[in-house]
Amino acid sequence: MIDIPFRSGYVAILGRPNVGKSTLLNRLIGQKVSITSHKPQTTRHRILGIQNTEHVQALYIDTPGMHTKAKREVNRLMNRAAFSAMRDVDVIVFMIDARFWTQEDEWILDKLQDVESPVILVLNKVDTIKDKKQLLPRLAELSEKRSFVDIVPLSVTKEVNVDQLEQTIFRLLPEGEAFFPKDQLTDQSDAFMITEIIREKIMRLTNKELPYDTVVQLDIKELKDDVLHIYVTIWVERLGQKVILIGEKGSKLKEIGISARRDLEKLFEKQVHLTLWVKIRPGWSDDAKALAQFGFR
């Protein structure tokens, strides 16, 4: 009988906004632990997702999309969260859109030059490339940019080559014991998961700049007669944003609440009574004190 050593370690998933980092994390974990939307910069915090197999515990760190135009303090904090994930990890997954290489991709690659951890380059969304003959020269060109331990073209949504990436990561993890219990999927608190679920619905159901000027704060979470009562404040920066978020006769806020409540009931496996309030805090996204109050570190 072959004695297979147990492997465990941290894997940072890096890339510019909207390349599919959170979708990849959820696919690897097998459950939704990081919110997603089609809008860039959906992820604001580092999210830890825990993947357990018989012989491996992989700890994936989903990071905010790294971007060069960080004009507000909230964006600068998001960049710092991503940069800090480069340190003290065992593997880095550098994710790009397979269709094109951008200046932000080049900027991130430059940040990775002094990193000692092995870097896997992942080209996501290969299913959107109609002429697959274009892929081989692109892979050859990208391989000249750095000595990547592997280059994996894949499609997370179509589940193409995700298993190949997974096996490459597993091989690179060091031998060692598990860091977390086998049944644990994330290290995030209930409060964080609640606010992220609600923020996801805001990202998906509102337009333009509104989602980026919105922050969600849990006020109360209490269990009464086996019903979970959750009270949340959604902060915006201007009166006009509050009007849009509430909608005509409260229609938009009701839509957000209904959609969020469904996910919360799945998460907690209980009936949920969700109450949402919308309040104004001018300039919160560029106010270090406000950002600390809202949980940005």
Per-residue pLDDT tens digits for 19-35: 998 899 999 998 888 86
Cα separation, 120 vs 128, in Å, equals 21
> Which tokens go with 182?
């086998």
> Which tokens go with 146?
């750095």
Residues 190-293: name the CATH superfamily.
K homology (KH) domain (3.30.300.20)
Strands 56-62 and 47-52: antiparallel
Cα separation, 193 vs 264, in Å, equals 9
Place of tokens 């969600």: 216
What is the H or E stretch that residue 5 is in? Answer: none
The pTM of this model reads 0.85
pLDDT of residue 72: 67
Fold of 7-172: Rossmann fold (3.40.50)
pLDDT, tens only, 189-198: 899 899 989 9
From the list 150, 183, 179, the residue with the least C-alpha distance to 167 is 150
Cα separation, 32 vs 23, in Å, equals 8
Cα separation, 47 vs 49, in Å, equals 6
Instruction: Check residue 15 and give left, alpha or beta (phi > 0: left; psi -120 to 50: alpha).
Output: left
Cα separation, 193 vs 38, in Å, equals 19
Contact 200, 270 (CB under 8 A): no
Q: What is the pLDDT along the chain (297 residues), one digit of tens a residue?
A: 567 899 999 999 998 888 998 899 999 998 888 867 676 666 666 788 999 999 999 999 887 766 666 566 766 776 676 667 777 899 999 999 998 899 999 988 988 888 889 999 999 999 988 887 888 888 888 889 888 999 999 999 998 899 999 999 999 999 999 999 988 988 888 998 999 899 899 988 988 778 778 999 999 999 999 999 999 999 999 999 999 999 999 999 999 999 999 999 999 999 999 999 999 999 888 888 888 888 776
Buried b (16+ CB within 10 A) or exposed e, 107-116: ebbeebeeee
Q: Is 249 exposed, middle or buried (0-12, 13-18, 19+ CB in 10 A)?
A: exposed
From the list 39, 48, 36, the residue with the least C-alpha distance to 9 is 48
| Cα distance from N-terminal residue to C-terminal residue, the chain | 48
The total of other beta-carbon atoms located within 10 Å of residue 163's CB is 11
CA 67 to chain CA centroid, nearest Å: 15
> Which tokens go with 162?
């995700």
pLDDT of residue 137: 85
The secondary structure of residue 6, as a DSSP letter, is P
pLDDT of residue 252: 95
Q: 235 CB contacts (<8 Å, ≥6 apart)?
A: 214, 215, 216, 217, 278, 279, 280, 281, 284, 294
Q: 273 CB contacts (<8 Å, ≥6 apart)?
A: 227, 228, 229, 230
pLDDT of residue 44: 62
Strands 91-97 and 7-14: parallel
Cα separation, 157 vs 152, in Å, equals 15
Residue ranges of domains in the chain: 7-172, 190-293
